[in-house]
């Protein structure tokens, strides 16, 4: 399970999940490129125990140089970019495993291996024969989905003619726009139609699917549908005029969105509400915390770029004024 220290700012307040101990991971992501890493940052920061499998051969590595990814006005070389996104995944609390996944199949104990009847949970087997279990799996490998064949859903694959031969390939429209599929707990972030043809679009789709995973996890915990979505924002603590008043407001807002026909026991509903209130509170950070995180962010970026974090225009200006 993920044992890396999660980065500051990660929301970790969770309501008790009785099924969590049944699996090695809450989420297993197959693919360590922009799509898979983006999904992992969201699930990891939420507090879901996440593993990302990276075979080390993402399609992006075919590019000579990356010039259209937002935030890099001079472009960025692919090796540096990969170092950054992998560092981000681990900072979010995910395990990053440099292995090729050969098969995803229903977890042992399911009475049937057919997709329609597969119970919750999966076994993920790597090329070296290691197996882990996960409640949810996100496919994020652009080049295909052969590793999903053991799930037994023929709808995943389509046939086509090539050079006089009939071949089979993964259906890029198999998942819906949020990444959900007909198999409980299986999501597809890649390959998806034309979304994965640009790195920044791939990252956006990964984030979208990561949020779908979080929403479904919250629904499974018992959150009413109108309260299942989660927003990962960090806000200035100065906006909290009075913390206790804010907590009361959050509780009132939560209660107002619980439907009248909600069948959860009052105790469970209170547990979910208090976990949600704690998450809301964790979104607010002090000015000092913002400054320390900004400094840490510059240092980590500088490490990847091979420069001194104190160098650059700001440092030069300070030096000139002395």
Phi and psi angles of residue 162, each rounded to the nearest 5 degrees, phi first: -145, 120
Give the orientation angle of helix 34-46 with respect to helix 199-221, to 10 degrees.
Answer: 30
Q: pLDDT in tens for each of the 322 residues of the chain?
A: 444 444 554 555 556 555 556 899 999 999 999 999 999 999 999 999 999 999 866 678 788 999 999 999 999 999 999 999 999 999 999 999 999 999 999 997 644 343 443 458 999 999 999 999 999 999 998 777 899 999 989 899 998 888 888 888 898 899 999 999 999 999 999 988 777 789 999 999 999 999 999 999 999 999 999 999 999 999 999 999 899 999 999 999 999 999 999 999 999 999 999 999 999 999 999 999 999 999 999 999 999 988 887 765 444 444 444 4
Whole-angstrom Cα distance, residue 175 to residue 76?
Answer: 31
Fill in the DSSP letter of residue 66.
B
Whole-angstrom Cα distance, residue 133 to residue 135?
Answer: 7
Q: What is the DSSP string of 22-33?
A: GSSEEEEEE--S
Domain boundaries, the chain: 23-219, 232-283
Give domain 23-219's CATH architecture.
3-Layer(bba) Sandwich (3.50)
């Amino acid at each position: 399970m993920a044992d890396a220290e999660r980065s500051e700012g990660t929301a970790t307040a969770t309501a008790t999940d009785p099924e969590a101990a049944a699996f090695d991971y809450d989420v297993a992501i197959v693919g360590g490129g922009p799509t898979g890493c983006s999904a992992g940052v969201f699930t990891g920061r939420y507090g879901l125990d996440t593993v990302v499998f990276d075979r080390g051969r993402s399609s992006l590595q075919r590019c000579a140089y990356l010039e259209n990814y937002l935030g890099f006005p001079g472009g960025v070389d692919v090796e540096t970019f990969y170092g950054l996104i992998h560092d981000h995944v681990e900072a979010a609390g995910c395990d990053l495993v440099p292995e090729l996944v050969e098969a995803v199949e229903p977890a042992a104990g399911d009475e049937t291996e057919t997709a329609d009847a597969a119970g919750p949970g999966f076994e993920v087997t790597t090329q070296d024969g290691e197996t882990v279990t996960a409640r949810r799996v996100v496919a994020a490998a652009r080049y295909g989905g052969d590793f999903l064949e053991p799930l037994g859903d023929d709808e995943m694959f389509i046939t086509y003619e090539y050079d006089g031969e009939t071949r089979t390939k993964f259906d890029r429209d198999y998942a819906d726009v949020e990444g959900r599929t007909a198999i409980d707990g299986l999501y597809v972030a890649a390959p998806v139609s034309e979304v994965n043809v640009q790195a920044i679009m791939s990252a956006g789709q990964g984030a979208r699917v990561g949020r779908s995973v979080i929403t479904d996890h919250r629904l499974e915990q018992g959150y009413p549908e109108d309260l299942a979505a989660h927003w990962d924002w960090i806000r200035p603590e100065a906006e909290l005029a009075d913390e206790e008043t804010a907590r009361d407001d959050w509780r009132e807002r939560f209660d107002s969105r619980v439907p009248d026909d909600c069948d959860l026991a009052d105790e469970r509903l209170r547990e979910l509400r208090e976990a949600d209130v704690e998450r809301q509170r964790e979104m607010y950070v002090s000015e000092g915390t913002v400054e320390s995180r900004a400094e840490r962010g510059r240092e980590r970026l500088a490490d990847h770029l091979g420069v001194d974090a104190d160098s650059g225009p700001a440092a030069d200006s300070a030096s000139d004024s002395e």
